[in-house]
Structure 1
Amino acid sequence: MEKPSTPRQSQPEEDDDSQSSTGESPTALKKSCTENGTCSLCLSRQPTISDLLNDEDLLYMMRIKLDPAHPTVKNWRNFASKWGMTYDELCFLEQKPQSPTLEFLLRNSDRTVEQLIDLCKLYQRVDIEKMLLKWVEKEWPKRRHGTYQNNY
C-alpha cells in the first residue's frame, strides 16, 4: 500500500531561493523589507498582542485604565471572561502581585491587536480603542521594521 505524499514533502527547502506566491524570491523579499518595509509579508502581517507587550508606555496606560475595579466601567475581568477565562482563573489573577491586565494580555499574546480593539468596541472602551488604534498607526510600523531604536 502506497503512502500518500504529505504537503511537507513537496515544499521547497528553507534556503531555496525559489519564488514565492507574490513572484519574489525570499532573498528579494528580505532585501525589499530591510530597504523600505514594503515586502508583501510585512504589509500583510497584523500586529499581535505579543507585539504591543514590548511597548512599556502603552502597557502602563492600559494597566491604569483596565486594572481598577469599578462597578460601571468594563475592565480586564470583562475582557478576560469574554475570551474564555474561568471565574477561578479571574480570582487567581486578582490575587497575584502582577497587574491582572498584563497577565490577561500575556495569556492572549497570540491574538491580534485587531481582536483586542474589537473587544474594546464591544465593551464601549473608546479610550483604550483610541490608544490601540494610534499605536497600530504610529508605533507598529516603526517596531515592525526594527527602526524604533534608530529614531532616538
Structure 2
Amino acid sequence: MLRDDLKAAQISAMKAKDKDRLAAVRLILAKVKDRDIELRTASQLPDDDTMIVEVLQKMGKQRRESIQMFRDGGREELAAAEEGELAVIEEFLPAQMSEAETTAAIEAIKAEVGATGVKDMGKVMAELKARHGSQLDMSKASGLVKASLS
C-alpha cells in the first residue's frame, strides 16, 4: 500500500538525515491526512491507494505550475526546490502512460462507446478516467481526446 510506502520513506529519510526528502515526504503525508479528514463525512469512501494517487497527482500538477512560474520570474533556486519535491512525489505515482499508449487507449474507447464527434467527449473522458485515471494526466488526455474527436 502507498500509505505504508510513504511511512517507510519517511523513516528511511530520517535515518539517512536527508532533510529535503524528509520534508517532501512529510508534506505528502500531511496532504494525505488532510484528505482523510475531508473524507470523514463522505458517504462513500474511495480506495485508499486511489485516494493517495489523486493527492499525489494534484501535488505534482501544482509543483509543475510553480516551477514554470518561478522560471518565468527568474527564480531558479525556487524552481530547483520545487523540482526536488516533484521528484519525490513522482516516486510514489504509478508509471504514466506514454502519448502513444494514451492515443491507443483513446481510440479503443472511442470504438467501444461509438463516439463520433466532440459531443461524445464526455463519454470518452469518463471511460478513460475510470480505466486509466491513475496513469494519466487528464488535462493532457483531454487535449488528445478533443483532437481525436474533431
Q: Above 0.5 in TM-score?
A: no
Tell me the TM-score normalized by structure 2: 0.28
Tell me the TM-score normalized by structure 1: 0.28
Q: Which has the larger radius of gyration?
A: 1
Asked which structure has the greater RCO (Cα within 8 Å, sep 6+), the reply is 1
